[in-house]
Amino acid sequence: MLEKILQIKNIGRFRDYAASGDVTFRKLTLVYAENGRGKTTLCAILRSLQSGQPEFISERKTLGASDATFVHLRLNNANYQFTNGARTVTHPDILIFDSLFVNENVYSGDYVEHEHKKNLYRVIVGTEGVRLARGIEDLDRQIRDANADLRTKRDALSRHVPTGLTVEAYLEWQPVADIEEQIRRKTEELDARQRAAAKANEIQAKALFVKVQLPSMPSDFATVLAKQLTDIVADAEAKVRQQIAQHQMGPEGEPWLSQGLGYVKDDRCPFCGQGMQANELIAAYRSHFSAAYKDLKQEVARLTQRVNNAIGEAALGTAGQAIAGNAALVEFWRQFTAVDLPDISFPNIQQKYATLREKCLALARRKQDSPTEAITPDAEFSVALAEVEALVQCVASYNAAVDTANARVNEQKAAASSPSDLPALMNELAQLQARKKRFEKEVDAACQTYKDALGAKTGLEQRKETVRRRLDEHCHNILRTYEQSINEYLDQFNAGFRITNTRHRYTGGTPSSDYQIEINSTALDLGDARTPAGTPCFKTALSSGDRSALAFAFFLAVLKQDTDIGRKIVVFDDPFTSLDRFRRTCTQQLIQRLSNTAEQVIVLSHDPLFLKLIADECPSAAANVKTLQMSKAGDNTVIGEWDVQAEAQSSYMKDFSTLLGFYRERTGDPRAVARTIRPFLEGMLRAHFPGHFQANEWLGDMVGKIRNADTTSGLQHAKADVDELDAINSYSKKYHHQQNANADTEPINEDELHGYVKRTLRLVGGC
């Protein structure tokens, strides 16, 4: 419990205050002070004590003071000091209802902004809820920082990402094992295609590769060598040759014998006429020169020419030209595409075929010498033939390579005749180079750094979601209970509205409260400064008195939900400011009820009658209640004892004296004089018409009663002055907080004030 304010220096109106007399605070402490005497400053000192924030004091340092601010309080038998801009200890169990609570947590002016909802949320959800909410806010701040860091790292990484590719896709790339080889091949392909583009016409005109065709031996060569004539006398050939040789006939012998054999008639010799039946030589002639034999000899005779024609030099000429032509084409086409023909030696082909040809001709000569005998090729022929057949296999492989090369050549020809594909090739090469660069040290490090930042952000978001779920669980019932309590207090205030749909939200990522106003069973959104004109909302639906009632209900609901209220010091600074007069009694009753449960209740007010209402109704007043006054002492504010009963009883005469002094000598503070007019007239009317006005009715209420009084009412005697009373009330209410939130700064013209003071005193015969 706050026991005493021992000293305050250089803070607001407290230039150099030191406790004097019995100014000890009690369980219920009522402090009377006119406006401008330091009530708000005292709340700031207690708020600094509660929060530990020195700025609540430092921002209120007395203007013009050179010495440091200083505060010394005694609380729960311990000293609490604020010196040199810092305090020794704090006391968090203090709850303060004042304009700052309203402005920070409920509304400012005409609007309920997001900050109000967020701050009120912290008030509602208690210590655990605040801890979780602040955890979310801290994580949200870290996430914002992580997002900023992520954007920086993404921007750095994006410089390496190929156009048209997302960063996410870039990060998914995997290393390519043969990337260098792929780049080399693609570079060569691009270079070749560029050269091809420059020589498109030449490419179109250039010939394809030609297949090599090797000559083949006569297909029946072996057959001819193997032919025999079975009807020829076994030694006919030998006998004929012997006869020709014996008679030295030479080359003409065989044709001469063959022709002479045709003149034999009836088996008689055309030369001597002798019979030739038993002549073996004639039989040999007939066998040798038969038709089959002639055919065989002719076939054998042609064999040599056929061999020369089939595998001679002339037959090899086409193959030689093809090989030479292809060799020349290779050099040209290799500029544009990969062409690779096997090495093939035409001289080697010539040599192999010459050997085979030689062996074939030797066999043909042997056959000519012995036409009727079967000639079997020897081993040398077989070797020569095998070597040629091996050549044929080599040429077949060569020709297959020619087909492959021609396919590539045709691709080049097609590319040369079609629109250029160079951009596509360039893009493919760029993609390959980008893939290579992706895993270079600098870029790979940038990728990993971005991944790490992304992982850190994801981790923060997961932690935030976990805390958010815990907060949701914590707040599940608290807000509904809080709403019910608020509506109970609004009902006690006889408010024509209630709140509904109370819930917590995550606007902007941080937790806050939200609710609607319900009037005539219609729910209205609170709205804010951006709400379109003409839209029903908090600004348009609630009067200033309603708003004050709502703020006070919020605060009382917080107290009701506080399970540690027995340890709390509760401070009220003018709790009924801007409340209708009929709500004053309700406020007084609620404060009295609270004083039974809280550790301590402190009420600061500029209205002595309100404080008297509280003091009069408090049980065991002598032991539980202390009344103090904050008053002016030169340029300083001091705290002293205050007799609330004497103050209330003599207030009418004090007000009269204040008004008379200003009327006669222009003494007194003009704003205090202006604020005296209304309570003075209220006291006058209560004295003149006892029993007609309630204690909680103001001058405006009294004027209304007088106007509406019937002919049987004693108020008929006041009707003659009702217009004057109304005019004076309209002037004086500008200087009271209940009707004007800017009452402290409302301009005052002293001549105008003097006129209204004069009119006021005339009503009581004072001038």
> What are the structural domain ranges in the chain?
1-93+564-642, 196-226+298-423, 233-289, 644-763
Q: How confident is the model at residue 534 (pLDDT cuts 50, 70, 90)?
A: confident
**154 neighbors 508 (Cβ within 8 angstroms):** no
pLDDT digits (tens, 9 = 90+) for 275-285: 666 566 666 65
Judged against a pLDDT cut of 60, whether residue 500 lies above it is answered with yes
Q: Which pLDDT band, with edges at 50, 70 and 90, does 578 fall under?
A: very low
pLDDT per residue over 9-59, tens digit each? 999 999 999 999 999 999 999 999 887 889 999 999 999 999 889 999 999
Identify the pLDDT of residue 552. 87
Give CA–CA dist 225/370, Å, rounded: 10
% residues pLDDT > 70 (the chain): 86
Q: How confident is residue 231, by pLDDT bands cut at 50, 70 and 90?
A: very low
Least confident of 196-200, 314-318, 323-327: 196-200
On the question of pLDDT at 127 being above 70, the answer is no
What confidence tier does 451 reach under pLDDT thresholds 50, 70, 90?
very high
Q: How far apart are CA 350 and CA 418, in angstroms?
A: 43
Of 92-96, 390-394, 518-522, 734-738, the range with the lowest mean pLDDT is: 734-738
* Cα–Cα distance measured from residue 105 to residue 112, given in angstroms and rounded to the nearest whole number: 9
Which pLDDT score is estimated for 229?
Answer: 63
Q: What's the pLDDT score for residue 128?
A: 67
pLDDT tens for residues 727-749? Answer: 999 999 898 877 777 888 899 99
Q: Which residue has the higher pLDDT, 418 or 323?
A: 323
Q: Is the pLDDT of residue 232 over 60?
A: no
Give the residues across from 699 on adjacent strands.
none
Nearest to 520 by CA among 539, 502, 500: 500
Say if residue 558's pLDDT is above 70. Answer: yes
The 8 Å CB, 24+ separation contacts for 742-751 are 743/35, 744/35, 744/36, 744/671, 748/670, 748/671, 748/674, 750/666, 750/670
pLDDT for 579: 42
- In this structure, of 23-32, 193-202, 356-365, 675-684, the range with the lowest mean pLDDT score is 193-202
With bands split at pLDDT 50, 70 and 90, how would you rate the model's confidence at 654?
confident
- The tokens 């219920």 sit on which residue? 28
Structure tokens at 598: 């809280």
Q: Please, which pLDDT band fits residue 102 given cuts at 50, 70 and 90?
A: confident
Tokens of 210: 């030609």
Instruction: Count the helix, strand and coil residues of the chain and give each as a percent rounded to the nearest 5.
Output: 60, 10, 30
C-alpha 198/C-alpha 422 separation (Å) is 12
> Would you give the DSSP letter of residue 247?
T
Neighbours of 271 (CB within 10 A): 8
Mention the CATH class of domain 1-93+564-642. Answer: alpha beta
Where does the pLDDT of residue 492 fall: very low under 50, low under 70, confident under 90, or very high at 90 and above? confident
Q: Examine the pLDDT at 613 and tell me if it is beyond 90.
A: no
* Whether residue 289 has pLDDT greater than 60: no
Contacts by 100-103, CB closer than 8 A, 24 or more apart: 100/43, 100/44, 100/47, 101/551, 101/555, 102/548, 102/551
Beta carbons of 651 and 34 less than 8 angstroms apart:
no
Q: Which of 25, 39, 102 is nearest to 604 (CA)?
A: 39
Structure tokens at 10: 């250089």
Eight-state DSSP code of residue 98? S
Pairing of strands 522-525, 512-519: antiparallel
pLDDT of residue 698: 87
pLDDT of residue 275: 67
Helix axis angle for 750-763 and 644-665, nearest 10°, is 120
Residue 650: the pLDDT is: 67
- Alpha carbon distance 377, 386 (integer Å): 13
pLDDT band at 549 (very low <50, low <70, confident <90, very high): confident
User: What's residue 370's pLDDT?
Assistant: 81
For the chain, the average pLDDT equals: 84
Q: Which residue, chain included where needed, has tokens 């016409």? A: 201
DSSP assigned state of 207:
P
Burial (CB count <10 Å: 0-12, 13-18, 19+), residue 95: buried
Other C-beta atoms lying within 10 Å of the C-beta of residue 366: 15
Question: Which residue carries 């000890």 as its tokens?
Answer: 24
CA-to-CA distance for 382 and 376, rounded, in angstroms? Answer: 11
Show the tokens assigned to 192: 């070749």
> Between 610 and 509, where is the model more confident?
610
The more confident residue out of 349 and 254 is 349
Q: Strand, helix or coil at 736?
A: coil
- Mean pLDDT for 285-295 is 62
Q: Rounded to an integer, what is the distance from CA 673 to the centroid of its chain?
A: 63
Given this model, what pLDDT does residue 286 score? 52
Whole-angstrom CA distances from 754 to 398, 655, 659, 709, 728 are 127, 15, 9, 31, 12
d(CA 391, CA 383): 13
Contact 679, 759 (CB under 8 A): no
**What is the distance of C-alpha 155 from the center of its chain?**
13
The structure's pTM equals 0.52
Tokens of 6: 């021992």
The answer to which of 158-172, 223-237, 327-341 has the lowest mean pLDDT is: 223-237
Distance CA(547)–CA(106), nearest Å, equals 9
Bridge-partner residues for 96, per DSSP?
Answer: 571
Q: Nearest-CA neighbor of 377 among 208, 224, 215, 271?
A: 224
Non-local CB neighbours of 693 within 8 Å, separated by 6+ positions: 682, 685, 686, 701, 702, 705
Residue 118 confidence (pLDDT) = 61
Angle at 550 between CA 513 and CA 573, to 5 degrees: 110
Kind and range of the H or E run holding 158:
helix 114-158
In degrees, to the nearest 5, what angle opens at C-alpha 645 toward C-alphas 642 and 646?
A: 75
- Residue 215: helix, strand or coil by DSSP? coil
**Cβ proximity of 497 and 80 under 8 Å:** no
Q: Give me the pLDDT at residue 15, please.
A: 93
- Average pLDDT value for residue range 219-234: 73
